[in-house]
Amino acid sequence: MTSTPKPHEPALLTTVYNPVEAEIIVAKLRSAGIESYVRHDALSVVYGLTVDGCGQQDIWVRAEDLKEAMAALEPG
């Protein structure tokens, strides 16, 4: 059962498997005034592994900013 996050709780925006891509997304969100952070698998940092689920980079924003963050990442 999935529950709706409360406004100040973190919400998962997207998951990528490339740390550079994650940092680009965070920078784009920052330029739009949206606070975010990346939760990553330690293997991706230590060993550079990005296969079979290793190297997962989860980008989180406040639940109240989720719609705005999604719009900020839309192309164009």
pTM listed for this prediction: 0.77
- Nearest C-alpha neighbor of 26 from the set 17, 44, 14, 11: 14
Q: Is pLDDT at 48 greater than 80 in this prediction?
A: no
Which pLDDT value is given to residue 70? 96
Tokens of 22: 């994650």
| Euclidean distance between CA atoms 74 and 7, whole angstroms | 22
Cβ atoms within 10 Å, residue 14: 15
Mean pLDDT (whole number) for 25-48: 83
Q: Is pLDDT at 13 greater than 90 in this prediction?
A: yes
Beta strands in the chain (DSSP E): 10-16, 36-40, 57-62
The residue among 20 and 40 whose pLDDT is bigger is 20
Between 8-17, 40-49, 60-69, the lowest mean confidence (pLDDT) is in: 40-49
The residues spanned by each domain of the chain are 15-72
